[in-house]
């Protein structure tokens, strides 16, 4: 066994959280960081976290930011001096260490003789289980370092907040007080730290992959760990939806093709047959019956939205899905098709213009068709609330909106879907259409493109290119619905 030295400040609250998720994750973070592969949304999540943290500090005027310049040792010294001075100012990024574990507190507020109240700022709408672990590490280090804590809270986004005046975010945050619970966990931090250090001083630990690879975070080392895993079956039981494969895994069965249809429910049995025989399940008459009341004109509608943690426009709430774009393919009774679209990528409030464009484009008698329609219906309801002059036609649209997803789920399955009925999984099994050639390929990519386009630093030619990419992606989403509907209603694949 190789014994490796561990840096004095090699542990922090985030690294202890990583250790508790999976020891191998922490080992790789320290000894093989080059093996990490960040998912596509990581950068956006980091940006959201930073902006939320910055705003939480800005709402406490007069606070002192403790910079780690030229190093963390300077931050420790500066923190000690400010805590000893007991001034009235809040401290940001106050830095403490105990037993080689270093923490930086987002916000530390003096409370006179009671001591200090610490707040860990999160962009979530409430405390999560792993937040309590983070808080416990901070409480342990701070109190062992001699700080008197009067409280320790997760400062999270308050979902009931509505932006009423530009720049006025008072009330955006709420505190979940958790000092007592954190102290209970903190009592065991010495043992956890000792276990983590012993693990880091040894060779890379071995652990089978499992649920811990995705909870509470998607592990950035999953691809690395997968290299050493045994090759699984081509058609694992885990493709069965709604956790249908867990029962079989518990019985030692990981291959879908090892099952008998008689042991499966209706949908799972159909999936097994379609996979085993390489012949899609297609109930054309049932699909047509499910859509028999979907009269013409038919309006195939898809929204792209932005849902910032910090509301951008008056009257919006945290994480409200605000539509900045829609695509609409409008089909008449004779089969004629026209395309309509809306896109606002200049950073201004898009809601009013989006509502006007919808009302102008969708005939009042049209059947509105969406895929996973609960989302489009919610956007229409919120538009009706926020644009009251057009509430009546918008709510009428919402009432006429039908969902193509359950029709696909009940009446079609191709083994290439691999257990998914997302539009991107179903489309290539029913049509030659596909997303492969697009720059923007999914909703997350659309949000990223929009955020780049509305950035004042975005050059005009780059903004134009981003707008074209957004239009191409959203248009394909509604054209995909047309293709899927026609394939479902037909006698076989194709559109």
The token pair that represents 477 in the structure block: 């989403």
Contact 120, 53 (CB under 8 A): no
Q: How far, in Å, CA of 150 to CA of 116, rounded?
A: 5
pLDDT recorded at residue 41: 72
Task: Give the DSSP H/E element, type plus range, for residue 332.
Answer: none
Handedness of CA 295, 296, 302, 307 (dihedral sign): negative
pLDDT recorded at residue 47: 87
Considering the entire predicted model, what is its pTM?
A: 0.89
The 10s digit of each residue's pLDDT in 191-249 is: 999 999 999 999 999 998 888 999 998 999 999 998 877 788 999 999 999 889 999 99
The token pair that represents 314 in the structure block: 């008056």
Q: How far, in Å, CA of 479 to CA of 300, rounded?
A: 8
Q: How far, in Å, CA of 368 to CA of 295, rounded?
A: 10
Task: Give the DSSP H/E element, type plus range, for residue 246.
Answer: helix 246-250
Contact 134, 152 (CB under 8 A): no
Contact 366, 330 (CB under 8 A): yes
- CA–CA distance from 31 to each of 2, 102, 383 (Å)? 12, 19, 50
Handedness of CA 149, 151, 152, 157 (dihedral sign): negative
The 10s digit of each residue's pLDDT in 348-364 is: 999 999 999 999 999 99
Alpha-carbon Rg for the chain, nearest whole angstrom, is: 27
**Per-residue tens of pLDDT for the chain, all 495 residues:** 444 444 444 899 999 999 999 999 999 999 999 999 987 677 788 889 999 999 999 999 999 999 999 999 999 999 999 999 988 999 999 999 999 999 999 999 999 889 999 999 999 999 999 999 999 999 999 999 999 999 999 999 999 999 999 999 999 999 999 999 999 999 999 999 999 999 999 999 999 888 899 999 899 999 999 887 778 899 999 999 988 999 999 999 999 999 998 889 889 999 999 999 999 999 999 999 999 999 999 999 999 999 999 999 999 999 999 999 999 999 999 999 999 999 999 999 999 999 999 999 999 999 999 999 999 999 999 999 999 999 999 999 999 999 999 999 999 999 999 999 999 999 999 999 999 999 999 999 999 999 999 999 999 999 999 999 999 999 999 999 999 999 999 844 443
For residue 474, what is the DSSP state?
H
For residue 156, what is the DSSP state?
E
Nearest alpha carbon to residue 301 among 352, 386, 360, 358: 358
List domains and CATH numbers for the chain: 11-200 (3.90.320), 237-279 (no CATH), 281-495 (3.30.420.10)
Task: Give the DSSP H/E element, type plus range, for residue 484.
Answer: helix 460-489
3-state secondary structure of 122: coil
């Amino acid at each position: 066994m190789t014994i490796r030295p561990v840096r004095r400040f090699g542990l922090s609250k985030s690294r202890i959280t990583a250790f508790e998720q999976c020891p191998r994750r922490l080992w790789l973070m320290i000894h093989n960081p080059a093996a990490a592969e960040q998912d596509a949304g990581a950068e956006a999540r980091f940006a959201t976290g930073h902006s939320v943290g910055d705003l939480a500090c800005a709402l406490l005027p007069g606070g002192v930011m403790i910079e780690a310049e030229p190093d963390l040792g300077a931050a420790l010294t500066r923190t000690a001096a400010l805590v000893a001075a007991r001034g009235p100012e809040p401290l940001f990024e106050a830095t403490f260490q105990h037993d080689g574990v270093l923490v930086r507190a987002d916000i530390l507020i003096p409370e006179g003789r009671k001591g200090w109240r610490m707040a860990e700022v999160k962009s979530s709408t409430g405390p999560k289980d792993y937040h309590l672990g983070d808080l416990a590490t901070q409480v342990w280090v701070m109190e062992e370092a001699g700080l008197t804590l009067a409280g320790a809270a997760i400062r999270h986004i308050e979902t009931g907040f509505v932006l009423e005046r530009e720049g006025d975010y008072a009330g955006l945050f709420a505190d979940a007080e958790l000092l007592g619970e954190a102290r209970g966990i903190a009592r065991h931090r010495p043992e956890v730290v000792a276990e983590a250090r012993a693990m880091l001083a040894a060779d890379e630990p071995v652990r089978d992959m499992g649920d811990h690879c995705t909870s509470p975070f998607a592990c950035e080392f999953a691809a690395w760990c997968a290299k050493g895993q045994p090759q699984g079956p081509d058609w694992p039981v885990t493709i069965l939806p709604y956790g249908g494969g867990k029962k079989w895994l518990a019985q030692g069965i990981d291959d879908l093709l090892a099952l008998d249809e008689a042991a499966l429910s209706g949908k799972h049995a159909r999936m097994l047959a379609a996979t085993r025989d390489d012949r899609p399940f297609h109930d054309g008459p049932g699909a047509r019956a499910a859509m028999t009341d979907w009269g013409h004109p038919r309006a195939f509608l898809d929204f792209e939205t932005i849902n910032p943690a910090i509301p951008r426009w008056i009257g919006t709430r945290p994480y409200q899905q605000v539509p900045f774009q829609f695509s609409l393919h409008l089909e008449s009774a004779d089969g004629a098709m026209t395309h309509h679209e809306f896109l606002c990528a200049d950073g201004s409030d898009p809601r009013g213009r989006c509502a006007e464009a919808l009302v102008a484009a969708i005939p009042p008698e049209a059947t509105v068709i969406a895929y996973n329609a609960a989302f489009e219906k919610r956007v229409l309801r919120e538009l009706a609330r926020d644009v009251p002059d057009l509430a009546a036609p918008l709510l009428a649209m919402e009432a006429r909106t039908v969902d193509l997803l359950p029709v696909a789920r009940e009446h079609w399955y191709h083994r290439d879907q691999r257990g998914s009925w997302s539009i991107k999984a179903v489309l290539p099994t029913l049509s030659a259409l596909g997303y492969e050639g697009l720059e923007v390929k999914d909703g997350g990519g659309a949000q990223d493109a929009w955020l780049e386009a509305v950035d004042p630093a975005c050059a005009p030619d780059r903004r134009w290119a981003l707008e074209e990419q957004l239009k191409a992606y959203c248009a394909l989403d509604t054209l995909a619905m047309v293709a899927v509907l026609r394939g479902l209603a037909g006698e076989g694949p194709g559109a």
